[in-house]
Structure 1
Amino acid sequence: MTQLRQVLVVGPSWVGDMVMAQSLFMTLQAEGPCEIDVLAPGWSLAILERMPEVRGGIAMPLGHGQLGLKERWRLGRELAKRRYDQAIVLPGSLKSALAPFFAGIPRRTAFRGEMRYGLVNDMRPLDKAALPMTVQRFVALGRAAGKPLPQPFPRPRLVANPANQTRLCSELGLDAARPAIAFMPGAEYGPAKQWPLAHYGALAALLVARGYQVWVLGSAKDAPAGEEIAAHAGEGKGEGVHNLCGRTQLGDAVDLLGLCAAAVTNDSGLMHVAAALDRPLVAVYGSSTPDHTPPLSERVAVRYLRLECSPCFKRVCPLGHTRCLHEITPDSVLAALVTLGVAAQDARGAA
């Protein structure tokens, strides 16, 4: 029996990038059956568990930005026991290429980065004009040097955990029979990427009036935002808004999104999760642009005004007005949901 090719991927450090890396894993499997392990931050293991192409995740013992040379050497010697045929390094840093080098993996593939000559022996030049999207760059590393991207390239497709969905609905007191729309208001990068909470609240009121419930998803840092959205939804509407921020782990958020009828989100990691679950999705862009990291799904409506000052890629609006987000109205987002086949009628009569 021929042994399958063994591949180690050094994964990225952001939720959205980890989701987009699934396109690379799909590409590798299409090139020929292989066993794929992913060395990645511990938080990402729940995402990797929902990717059928991945055999297993290996938690990186060092935090983002830590060099930890001795620890990386020890990790490399442990990885050497697995006898990988190839390593693909997605981050551009020097330190991210150390463990595969210490592991003695014979083929180490990456784009040219921080002086990684010798650490990487299958070095690729990065033509940003030819590969403007992050996902295209990931997929390119799964192909032989110079080989064109598959057309179309595979899109991420996460698989939710049904047993966990049932548990979550029970423990969180959620009505799985009532159509839910997820809101992801988190702004880890900064307020210049966050649609105003008052707008989220006004939209929540419109949706609850149509018979939907709203699940606000995010980390514990987003819990005050969830409370503010419920408050903005107004008297008699807040009971249809469930603030789940900080009450779930990342894998739980994936599974809850899998139950939703649609999602409304800032440009964020959970936006890419929703797209990978093929949920109808309205993505609101402000300081960033959908040209570089768009949600990879057919059922997406992007709200982006392309003002003369956009994209600025700043954490806080340098002009002080954040028009790029404030001028995207709740009514326009509701209209986008309708174009996706959601919220066109009262959900209570849509059985």
Structure 2
Amino acid sequence: MQVSTILLRMPNWLGDCVMTSCAIQKLRVTYPDARFILVGSKACEIYKADSLTCIIDESKTYPKTQRWHFKKQLVGLGVIAKIKAYILYSLKFWQRNRIYATYLLAKSIGKADLSFSFNNSFFGALFLCFTGSKIRVGFAKNARSALLTHALKLQDSHSMHQVQKYEFLIQDFIEPGLFAHILPLKLPQSTQSLLIDDKQHKHIGINPGAAFGSAKCWQKEYFIAVIEAFLDQGHYVYLFGTDSNLSWQITQGLRHMSITQQKNFINLTNKTNLTQLVDSIAALHLFITNDSGPMHIAAASSTPMISIFGPTDTSETCPWNEKIAKHYFCSHRESISKQSLVVESNIAILCKHLSCAPCKKRTCPLVHHNCMKEITPQEVLLIADSMLVS
């Protein structure tokens, strides 16, 4: 089959975008001359530096944007003119909804020889359908099957990592040998790291937040204790994330430290674009993080990492590398869901696997948040010391 254009409707979350990396690599090996178009949230621009066309899908906010433009047009109009404007605006109600916006986006992109929806929403499949692409592949869920030419069902989704689920979608369009081959995550990198140019000291990254919700976040007091220990050892510590309030609380918790130590604490909260985030994480000696998008960036960058899990399922979204994949996600594998500590290559995964976990809730439904509280700073520091030495 001659394939010149491949269209990918990407997931909305940053971490999921990173986890499509293996599927994208295999498609690019199979179709080296094809043009790839990635459509999704701003997170898909993480691949922009890799010569892939990235288009932001703004259909969800389109109705709100249209209302804003209309209200702006009313400014300065007389009463009669405003009444006419309202009438015309009301008559064109069908042009102010997400379906119409999805249609406009699809038609602006056009047909593709192959199209895949890594996004599981109804609108992800509707978008592919509107493009008129002959082959439209996605999971059979959320009333999408009629919109897809290949609506696939997973027989045992609970035993598969999210990376494998994305690869499952492309298996009929690549060589069987390539499908079975285990690849590490991979992201394009450049030279936009924001780390201080000092090769005499260790550079450690801290990612205390998680976009999904507070349940995935380790206690801020624990992060403060770990940061204090690293600063005492003379290391540089970089704070990543987008939560300004959490960043302020952590910064306030470090005020008692000496001026010299505080100078080694660099707050990069809301100060990085995606390219800078990838390059900065890739340059670290160690990254300590919750289950989050930056965690998967660290895995794709082969950055030594300690990942802290509580309410989410390690068997679905743990950091992915070749050793973890072979040990826990291939045939005759050991279950990662029963391991309180996993250390494979340069990745350490901590999870207590309490009886109430994984609840997968945004906030702890039992309030106590013990799945994260029971992982202590001492445990993390002990692992960190061994990783920094090696």
Aligned to 1:69: 99
Aligned pair in 2 of structure 1 residues 130, 264: CA closer, same or farther (>3 Å)?
Answer: closer
How far the C-alpha of 1:12 sits from its partner, in A, is 0.4
Corresponding residue pairs, total: 328
Aligned to 1:235: 257
SS at match of 2:43: helix
Structure 1: state its 5+ residue gaps: 346-351
Q: TM-score, normalised by structure 2?
A: 0.77
How far the C-alpha of 1:266 sits from its partner, in A, is 0.6
Provide, for residues 253-308 of structure 1, a one-character-per-residue CA deviation record: whole Å limited to 9, x for no partner: 22211221110001111111111111001000111121111111342101111122
Work out whether 1:103 is the aligned partner of 2:131: yes
d(CA) in 2 for partners of 1:291, 1:141? 19
Amino acid at match of 1:102: F
Q: Which has the higher helix share?
A: 2
Larger deviation, residues 243-252 vs 190-199: 243-252
Aligned pair in 2 of structure 1 residues 31, 339: CA closer, same or farther (>3 Å)?
Answer: farther
Larger deviation, residues 95-104 vs 2-11: 2-11
How far the C-alpha of 1:15 sits from its partner, in A, is 0.4
Aligned to 1:349: none
How far the C-alpha of 1:240 sits from its partner, in A, is 2.1
**C-alpha contact (below 8 Å) 2:8/2:38 kept by paired residues:** yes
Work out whether 1:226 is the aligned partner of 2:224: no
Aligned to 2:350: 303
Aligned pair in 2 of structure 1 residues 127, 148: CA closer, same or farther (>3 Å)?
Answer: farther
d(CA) in 2 for partners of 1:250, 1:294? 21
Q: Which aligned runs of 4 or more in structure 1 are off by greater than 4 angstroms?
A: 64-67, 145-149
Aligned to 1:181: 204
**C-alpha contact (below 8 Å) 1:193/1:288 kept by paired residues:** yes
How far the C-alpha of 1:176 sits from its partner, in A, is 4.2
d(CA) in 1 for partners of 2:62, 2:16? 17
How far the C-alpha of 1:94 sits from its partner, in A, is 1.9
d(CA) in 2 for partners of 1:64, 1:111? 25
Aligned pair in 2 of structure 1 residues 113, 145: CA closer, same or farther (>3 Å)?
Answer: farther
Provide, for residues 75-124 of structure 1, a one-character-per-residue CA deviation record: whole Å limited to 9, x for no partner: 222222xx420100112222111222122111111110222233201121
Amino acid at match of 2:246: A
How far the C-alpha of 1:59 sits from its partner, in A, is 1.5
**C-alpha contact (below 8 Å) 2:353/2:371 kept by paired residues:** yes
Work out whether 1:121 is the aligned partner of 2:149: yes
Structure having the higher Rg:
2
Aligned to 2:384: 337
Structure 2: state its 5+ residue gaps: 64-96, 322-344
d(CA) in 2 for partners of 1:225, 1:120? 42
d(CA) in 2 for partners of 1:44, 1:60? 11
Aligned to 1:155: 184
**Match among 55, 59, 66 for residue 58 of structure 1:** 55
Aligned pair in 2 of structure 1 residues 72, 278: CA closer, same or farther (>3 Å)?
Answer: same
Work out whether 1:276 is the aligned partner of 2:300: yes
